[in-house]
Structure 1
Amino acid sequence: MTEDDTGSRTVAVIRRTPFTTALTLALLVIAAATGTLTAPASQQPWFERVATGLPAFVEGRWWTVATSPFFVDHPLVLLTLLPLVVGGIGWAEWRFGSLRTIGLFAAGHVVGVLGAAGILALVSPSGWPWAVRLSQSYDVGPSCGALTALVFAIAALPSPWRLRARIAVGVWTGISVLYLGQLHDLEHAVSMAAALAVSGWLPAFRRPAGRPSQREWRLIALSLLIAIGAIQVLDLMVPYDGPLGANDPVSSFTDVAIDVVVIALIANGIRQGYRLAWITALVLGFFNIATAVVVLPLLPLLVEAGVLDSPAEVVGLVLAPAVFWLGLVVLLVLARGAFQVRLRKSHRRLDAEALTREQLVERLKRCGGGTISWMTTWDGNRRIAAGETGAIAYQSHSGVAIMLGDPIVSAGGEGGALAEFERVAQHAGLVPCVFSASAAAAEARPAGWRSVIVAEDTIVDLSGLEFKGKAWGPVRTAMNRASREGVEFRMVRLAEEPWNVLAQVRAISEQWTGDKGLPEMRFTLGTVDEALDPEALVGIAVDGQGDLHGVTSWLPVYGAADPESGETRIVGWTLDLMRRRDGGFGPVMEFLIAASAQHLSEQGYEFVSLSGAPLVRPEDAEAGPVDQVLEQIGALIEPLYGFKSLHRFKQKFNPRHESLHLLYRDEGDLPRIGIALTRAYLPDASLRDLVASAASTASAGAPA
């Protein structure tokens, strides 16, 4: 990127966020002019004239509501405040525009400072030490307005990022006000609570409400568990004086260490819904609650015995964690159905009726399928029922359940099958996704799921197929040359061929595999074993001496069975295996594919699919968040398998294109899905093998 490009982008950002830019500059300029860049503002003689707080309002200094946002209490506060201003206000301004953002900022600031002052005016007469202390405090800064703008920007996020961000802001604000308990912490809590309530009430931000999903229950429990761990560390290291009481760091290191270590051990289990982690969290929670119940009544006795000067010395230490543990225990009990995953991987299968290969084949022939549906019959896939007549095939790698292709269901049943797959996968503690789904399945994906194009299925329609015209020149050339050189085409069932043909097929395939330095890929790419399937057709090119020059295998594509007679039918064929002999007939692949298409056209089939090259997407497709992950995987494998080159080769047959999609819950799943896809395609290869082979191929300058 050139300096001109960088400058143009900077100018564009400033034009889009003038209020954020102006406020940031004002904070810096005022801090420099008043000396608060190097000294706290609270030590300046004019501080009380510009700061908000209950004393200022009691004395009639209402103008401080307008002056306080432009000052910062301490120089170090700028380090945390400026990211909040730029991130919160800037994001809101980019999303909602300057005028609306100014309104949100002003409203949040006013509600925060006046709301906190009102609360203190009501509760300080009770003599509550915390409230009395805060009723005499002052505060400056734009954080209430910035936090409000941030909460409204979060409300515009899609699910589940909206919930995650709200939890993060809520936990941070809650810990701050309950433990640190400064005036600005109370103001933040008031402004955030108001912003959350209003953003959920306004029609523009309202989202359908309902019972949290299993995933959301686990996420909320994880957030609260992490918050408790942070609180335990605060108890040990940080003195505080909040509404739950005062604390000098007198916690037992052993007690805190045990809690924190246990939390660290079970946190990932809570995220994945393990039953054992749920039980452990409940036991730890009940233990901490019981400790508080036992200790609190003994405090007066400890004071009488002279062990403590006042119960206030430890009441915060005992009561505050117990409040959070009680909240976590209640949550875990309410969400108990979300924590049913067994610890042993061998037991973490999808809770659905398992199908044999024969049962899946029968359902596939009855319901029909897509161009890659026959791949679900291959070894390595697990198969479950989808309703009474449908089926789903998936593989489990790295904690991800990858459904292969569309669910095998009757037309219109994709949505229900995908929703059920999501439910049972999450119940098993697995991340659900669908690889190489059709456009119809992408449209029927569960609410909140994302879709991104990962490949193009290349389809040649067979009706009236003729290799005429300039576009078919390379194909005609290959067929004419084969005729001149005595290379013939045969369409066979490989399992029925004599041993010498099968031996040549295996030799050609082993030679191709050896050149790669890696095992043959799996998942959506078949091997000779899959070509031996009696249902598969195999095209071979043989010369006059019986030498095999190339081989292609074709998988059946079933249409829905006739509703009256129940007769099943094959509507097309999908290209799978492509192997050629080194030093053999040059354009053998062009010849084999063209001859196969011509043969299948004469047999009355509707189309052939040349299949979509894995991890290849159309150049003009809209960029999505998964692109970088797929590009990295594709770049790693491209020197070895040449997917992009293969995709370009298929364009010689003038196909039409249909997009294949990756369906996933949200962007947080993408890193794990990327790893899982790599394992699905190369289950026997280590990461070291991939890197070493790619490096050696690149250094040798080997063609794809």
Structure 2
Amino acid sequence: MSEAFPPPSSAPSRMRLRARALTAVARRYVRANPVSLCVVVAVLAAAAATGSLWGEDARAWGAGPLATFSSGRWWTLITALVVPDSTVDAASSVLLALTVLAYAERLLGSRRTGVLLGVLGVSGLVVGIGFHAAAWTLSDLRPVVAAEVPVLDPTTPIAGVVMAASAFAPVLWRRRLRLVGFALLALFALYAGDADSWYRLSTAVIGLVVGGVLARGREHRSWHRSSTRETRTLLALLVAVVGSGPLVALVSGGGRGPLSLVVDAYTQYDDELLGRCSKVAETVCDEQIALLMTRGAGPALLAVVPLVLLLVAAWGLRQGRRSAWILAELVLVASAVLPVVSLLDGRLQIDPWVDGSGAEYVLWALATVVVPLALAGALFVARARFSLRARRTAARIAALVIGAALLVCAAGLFAVEEIGRRSFNRELSVLELAGLTLRRFLPPSFTHTGGSTAFPHHGPALFAYQWFGVVFWIIVIATILWLYRRVRRPDASDQNHYRELLRRGSDTLGFLGTWEGNRHWYSDDRECAVAYRLTGDVALAVADPLAPAGRRREALRGFADFCVEYGWIPAFYSVHSDTLDDLVEWGWHHVPVGVETVMDLPGLTFAGKSWQKVRQPLARAEREGYTAVWTHWHELTVAQAAQVIAIDEEWVADRALPEMGFTLGSLDELRDRDVRLLLAVDANGRIEAVTSWMPSWTDGTVTGWTLDFMRRRTNGPNGMMEFLIAKAALQLQDEGATVLSLSGAPLADDPDGPADGDPAPLRAVLRWLAEVLEPAYGFASLFRFKGKFRPRYRPLALAYRDPLQLPAIGAAVGRAYLPGASRHEMVALAKSAWEGRR
């Protein structure tokens, strides 16, 4: 697997080939998504015609209770679905049409997509306008119901069609579209509260119902992911919504949604309260004036720290981190309890609305207390799902960093304030100054001291007052994110047990799992095993799992659940068709990553014209006095070992490139006592070429051998590899072996396989990697060389579960093959690749 055969340097113009490929992709996209492209054209044309594309007011084309029903402009039910209200709305509509709507069109079909765009869009507007008008008639709801602002929103019908198409999507994408889609729609409706958000939500609900009706009777795969992963994703999504909801309300000008009242806890000061303070003195006025006088970017960032912490916690919850669970619980409970304390001590005041109904109390309690506490309770119930703890050393480092940051920032702030005492609005004692210093490291919503609040008016003290707390929280957030990456790994696996399972029965590539750098997963009864290489957060399972007859699926599912438990991305690399079929049945995706070439030894002879390319170098080498010597590394003499090392170093030095690993063996793998070496030795004892062979077993008996290491002297005679492989086949046939695998050619496609006119993104990445490495390592040439032995081709695939994880998987494969490449070696590799393209 490790020999390289440099390819010819001449190649067609890659620029022309890429231009053709891009043209073909564009044509396929146009053919597959005509409705989505028509939507793009219609939105841009309508925006240009009405002037909304460059900021002109186009509300005359909008829909609403007054604009549509009272004014009798029924045609606005159509124009509101096409005309955007701003440049940003036009850009977002075009982006959604080219992406999620295009995906929905592939699921539904173009004709059905076109019909549903009109039907769902109009239906959603009618229902939304009806609810809007009905809510406006209720005086209790009037303060939180958006007033009549004509709606212009092309994303409304898109939302309905996407939710309808979700019924036809695979399990993964069906859940993802619905969870993420409705979370975002509800986020804007409940916090921002504009009419557009409610109309989109109404259309999405109608689309969900219609999609369910259209998809009746369709068979859906039942197993896709473990409940642990689903629970983590759902709770992380809810925490993210609670954290980003007030931010949405803040950005939208305070929001009018039923949960937008919570935004008051994250603002710097209260305009209405300050207005009342000008007439009646209250205890809270001093604090509000202090917030007004010291407002700016720093205090604004400090005010939203709890929301940012919730978003950081949501990121860790998705990965199952215990530290994220603790962070989320603390912030949620504090966010719910502290406002109640403020209400009880009089610092927070809520007045009934003009009709005296007091409904604002209900909405305030729901947004500020009930939602955070309910979510904190759900996290507490599901605490076992977030079991990934940081390494003890990392946890101690994080605690020391945060403690040191607090000490340094607090000391610095106190020193600056002490020096700038005259810039404060009143005289402060040392104790008061210390209390003020500590308070600046807490968001305003988390502080509840009453009475007069001192503050600086100008100078360095004001700058430190505004920014030292922000700096501290930046350090805290960075430390938490760093801690997420330092997770306790599973205990070191027992490699001896893996070898025992190998001897029970293994496929031709199973021995790769014994190599250094691999870990091993075992089933509870230790009868099933999977070897994997952990690269970042990607667990690349190497070759097929080891499992007794009938338990392969159990091993695949157990390993996938194991990866989910530790927050890793599972991927099965270099698996054969039997394993791949099981994964595909569960909804996994796959791309080819190589082809294994296998020789069946029973009845093998090198007679006939088809074997002439093998028979000639074999006969020539024997005629020139070369012999094939079987041995093991530990049986080599010092002189022989030195020659083998010199041949390998010569091969590596000739390329000045990093030596590859993962599924490509090196000298380290030759030292294994189960690995046999076959040397080509001349009459004088000089070693000209080296090959290594890994065993495979059936019921405890060696029945196959797999070629791994291939090296020859660069100035040696030609045909040495053909000589050694032919000799190995004949000798192992006599020993009773039935299979001789020439191993896989990494990243090479089967020439007899079907052409792939629409490669998946990961396959495109792997093909690019193959192009870059080909001038240096010659994988394609190696594949053609093995074709001389008339092998049986066994495709090798990489199976993955989630298409959104393709970038991480592709990067993990690259790092696995080039684990220790230095900067100098990567530059040499790039230079070699560039020279090979000329």
- Measured at CA, do residues 547 and 22 of structure 1 come closer, stay the same or move farther in structure 2, by a change above 3 Å? closer
- Corresponding pairs, count: 684
User: Structure 1 residues 513 and 321, CA, compared in 2 at 3 Å: closer, same or farther?
Assistant: farther
Deviation, structure 1 residue 132 = 8.0
- Alpha-carbon separation, structure 2, partners of 1:102 and 1:673: 36
Note the C-alpha offset of 1:35: 5.9
Query: In 1, distance between residues paired with 2:365 and 2:116?
Result: 39
User: In the superposition, relative to structure 1, how do residues 148 and 334 fare at CA in structure 2: closer, same or farther (>3 Å)?
Assistant: farther
Identify which of 330, 339, 343 aligns with 2:390.
Answer: 343
> 1:666 Cα deviation (Å)?
1.5
Matching residue within 339, 345, 348 for 1:292: 339
The residue that corresponds to 2:707 in the other structure is 575
Instruction: Flag the 1:300–1:492 CA change in 2: closer, same or farther, 3 A.
Output: closer
Report what 1:694 is aligned to: 829
Identify if the C-alpha distance between structure 1 residues 132 and 390 changes in structure 2 by more than 3 Å, giving closer, same or farther: closer
1:51 to 45, 49, 63: 63
Partners of 1:441 and 1:227 in 2: how far apart? 39
Q: What is the aligned counterpart of 2:593 among 426, 439, 454? A: 454
Q: Indicate if the aligned counterparts of 1:31 and 1:71 stay in contact, CA closer than 8 A.
A: yes
Equivalent of 1:220 in 227, 234, 249: 234
Contact 2:156–2:200, Cα closer than 8 Å, also in 1: yes
Cα separation, 1, equivalents of 2:342 and 2:359: 13
For 2:677, what is the secondary structure of its paired residue?
A: strand
Distance 2:513 2:70 in 1: 75
Structure 1 residues 212 and 460: CA distance shift in structure 2, 3 A: closer
SS at match of 1:241: coil
1:164 is the counterpart of 2:176? yes
CA distance in 2, matches of 1:464, 1:81: 66
The reply to whether residue 258 of structure 1 matches residue 305 of structure 2 is yes
1: CA distance, partners of 2:329 / 2:725: 62
Where in structure 1 are there 5+ consecutive unaligned residues?
Answer: 562-567
- In 2: Cα distance, 1:696 partner to 1:8 partner: 30
1:376 aligns with 2:388: no
8 A Cα contact 2:520 2:529, kept in partner: yes
> What CA distance in whole angstroms lies between the structure 2 residues aligned with 1:130 and 1:540?
89
2:666 pairs with 520, 523, 527, which one?
A: 527
Give the CA deviation at 1:535.
2.4
What are the Cα deviations for residues 295-352 of structure 1, in whole angstroms up to 9, with x where unaligned? 4556797469xxxx9999999888646565345424423432321112128863348x
**Residues 1:505 and 2:615 aligned together:** no
Matched, 1:661 2:661: no
**Secondary structure, in 3 states, of the residue corresponding to 1:444?**
helix
Give the match's secondary structure for 1:521: coil
Q: TM-score, normalised by structure 2?
A: 0.73
Counterpart position of 2:138: 126
CA contact (8 A) 2:171 2:221 kept: no
Unaligned 5+ runs, structure 2: 1-15, 269-298, 392-484
**1:12-23 correspondence runs (5 A):** 20=36
The Cα shift of 1:546 comes to 1.0
Summarize deviations over 1:460-505 as a string: whole Å, max 9, x none: 1111211122321221110121122111122223422333222222
Q: Is 2:727 the partner of 1:595?
A: yes
Write out aligned runs for 1:311-390 (5 A). Answer: 320=367, 325-326=372-373, 328-344=375-391, 348-350=488-490, 356-366=494-504, 368-386=505-523, 387-390=525-528
Q: Find the counterpart in structure 1 of residue 605 from structure 2.
A: 466
How many Å apart are 1:607 and its aligned residue?
Answer: 1.7
Alpha-carbon displacement from aligned partner over 1:209-262 (angstroms, at most 9, x marks no partner): 799632233333333343344334345544122233566883462553422443
CA contact (8 A) 1:457 1:660 kept: yes
Partner of 2:558: 420
Task: Report how far residue 557 of structure 1 moved.
Answer: 1.2
- Does the CA contact (< 8 Å) of 2:776 and 2:833 recur in 1? no
Question: CA–CA distance in 2 between the matches of 1:6 and 1:60?
Answer: 49
Whether the aligned pair in 1 keeps the contact of 2:144 and 2:257 (CA below 8 Å) is no
Aligned with residue 683 of structure 1, among 819, 826, 832: 819
Name the SS for the 2:164 alignment partner.
Answer: helix
Is residue 487–residue 541 contact of structure 1 (8 Å, CA) maintained in 2? Answer: yes
Provide the rounded CA distance (Å) in 1 between the counterparts of 2:170 and 2:216: 15
Task: Give the percent of matched residue pairs that are identical in Structure 1 and Structure 2.
Answer: 34
Is 1:442 paired with 2:592? no
Q: Which amino acid aligns with 2:804?
A: G
* Aligned-partner residue type, residue 161 of structure 1: W
8 Å contact from structure 2 (residues 161, 204) kept in 1 = no
How many Å apart are 1:427 and its aligned residue?
1.1
- After the TM superposition, which of the residue ranges 329-338 and 581-590 deviates more from structure 2? 329-338
Give me the CA root mean square deviation.
3.7
Residue 553 of structure 1 is matched in structure 2 by: 692
Please tell me whether the aligned partners of residues 400 and 430 of structure 1 are also in contact (alpha carbons under 8 angstroms).
yes
- Specify whether residues 7 and 300 from structure 1 end up closer, same or farther in structure 2 by C-alpha distance, changes over 3 A only: same
Partner of 2:634: 495
**1:418 Cα shift?**
0.9
Alignment check: 8 A CA contact 2:140 2:359 kept: no
Indicate if the aligned counterparts of 1:88 and 1:153 stay in contact, CA closer than 8 A. Answer: no
Shift of 1:55: 7.0
Query: Which deviates more, 673-682 or 132-141?
Result: 132-141
Superposition deviation, residue 578 in structure 1: 0.9
Quote the offset at 1:93 in angstroms. Answer: 4.0
Question: Contact conserved, 2:192 with 2:260, CA < 8 A, in 1?
Answer: no
Amino acid of the structure 2 residue aligned with 1:278: W
- Mapped to 2, the partners of 1:16 and 1:66 lie a distance apart of 25
Q: Check whether the contact 1:236–1:253 (CA below 8 A) recurs between aligned residues.
A: no
The offset of 1:279, in angstroms, is 1.0
Residue aligning to 1:628 = 764
Residue in 2 aligned with 1:536? 675
| Stretch deviating more after TM superposition (334-343 or 403-412) | 334-343
Secondary structure of 1:546 counterpart: coil
Please say if residues 679 and 687 of structure 2, whose CA atoms lie closer than 8 Å, have aligned partners that are also in contact: yes
CA deviation after TM superposition for structure 1 residue 111, in Å: 3.0
Matched, 1:39 2:177: no
- C-alpha change, 1:632 and 1:327, in structure 2 (3 Å) is farther
Contact 2:191 2:249 in 1 (8 A): no
Taking a change above 3 Å as real, the CA distance of residues 205 and 75 of structure 1, as seen in their structure-2 partners, is farther
Residue 442 (structure 1) shift: 1.0
CA contact (8 A) 1:459 1:611 kept: yes
Q: Distance in 2 between matches of 1:87 and 1:205?
A: 25
C-alpha separation between the residues in 1 aligned to 2:516 and 2:234? Answer: 38
- Which letter does structure 1 place at the counterpart of 2:131? I
Deviation (angstroms), 1:76: 5.5
The answer to whether the Cα contact below 8 Å between 2:313 and 2:327 also exists between their aligned partners in 1 is yes
1:565 corresponds to: none
- Report the CA distance shift for 1:148/1:182 in structure 2 as closer, same or farther (over 3 A): same
Q: 1:644 to 1:111 in 2, by over 3 A?
A: same
The answer to which of 336-345 and 65-74 deviates more is 65-74
What is the rounded CA distance, in whole Å, between the counterparts of 1:132 and 1:444 in structure 2?
A: 53
CA contact (8 A) 2:140 2:357 kept: no
Structure 1 position 363, deviation (Å):
1.8
Q: Tell which has more relative contact order, 1 or 2 (C-alpha 8 A, sep 6+).
A: 2
DSSP-derived class of the 2:744 partner: coil
- Provide closer, same or farther for how the CA distance between residues 485 and 111 of structure 1 changes in structure 2, counting only shifts above 3 A: same
Q: Deviations over 1:341-374 (max 9, x none)?
A: 12128863348xx6533322222212x1111112
Cα distance between partner residues in 2 of 1:700 and 1:90: 40
